[in-house]
Structure 1
């Protein structure tokens, strides 16, 4: 089947106009934190674009206790996930709404231990990227950021 250049041009123009219109209608909201003391941070804990929620990376800092979670990579991973759950809950979302996770480990050798905890919570298996980086904020062993859909 041969498609004329004119028909292809019309189809491409329609596609581009539809995509641009969809982008123009997407409202973006920079949400304040559910923890008032975090509202002075130089970033938003959650940014909403339409029905998508982009959460800032969370580390294993236990905000109630005021220190990094104990128990090494497993303890920090559990606390990170609790922190993510708290932000999601503030927006009437849960871990089942998460479609993408980006995981940053300070030591790739912690991958297996981290994964043992992670798989207990993210049972829907969202898409994921995991890598190691030299040095995370306040000496954290792990940081996770997520994208969720309402």
Structure 2
């Protein structure tokens, strides 16, 4: 049986509840939903959804790097938005972080996110 191990880094926001930043299982890294918090301060990066998306992806990349990978090895992401009208702007920023073949993705509108965030992203990343 494969073992489950926690991945944590000070370069991404600390968990705000009883969960890990990420867990490694076999050759996959499951990154918990990342809020647009600046790791050094714990503050929201801004109120702009596009800037929040960028910070979420930076946080995921920091966690992936702690596991010896990077955001470019994401195989699946899920984006949670509080307003789908921001979807076109999100797509523009999101595309700057990935190349073909793009990771599989889901994007859903939710009624609210922790700490009043407008964006939260979770990811599954392939490890060597």
Q: What is the root-mean-square deviation of aligned Cα atoms in Å?
A: 1.9
Q: Gaps spanning 5+ residues in structure 2: where?
A: none
Partner of 1:19: none
Answer yes or no: is the 8 Å Cα contact 2:10–2:39 preserved in 1. no
Matched, 1:143 2:93: no
Q: Gaps spanning 5+ residues in structure 1: where?
A: 1-24
Runs of 4+ in 1 over 2 A off after TM superposition: 35-41
3-state secondary structure, aligned to 1:68? coil
Matched, 1:104 2:67: no
Larger helix share, 1 or 2: 1
Partner of 2:49: 73
Deviation per residue, 1:121-145 (Å, 9 max, x gap): 0223100000100000001010000
Give TM-score scaled by structure 1 length: 0.77
Answer yes or no: is the 8 Å Cα contact 2:7–2:67 preserved in 1. no
3-state secondary structure, aligned to 1:56? strand
- Quick one: which of 126, 134, 140 aligns to 2:103? 126
Q: How does 1:57-72 map to 2 (within 5 A)?
A: 57-70=33-46, 72=48
Give TM-score scaled by structure 2 length: 0.89
CA distance in 1, matches of 2:15, 2:103: 28
Q: CA deviation at 1:35?
A: 2.2
Label 1:105 to 1:40 Cα distance change in 2 as closer, same or farther (>3 A). closer
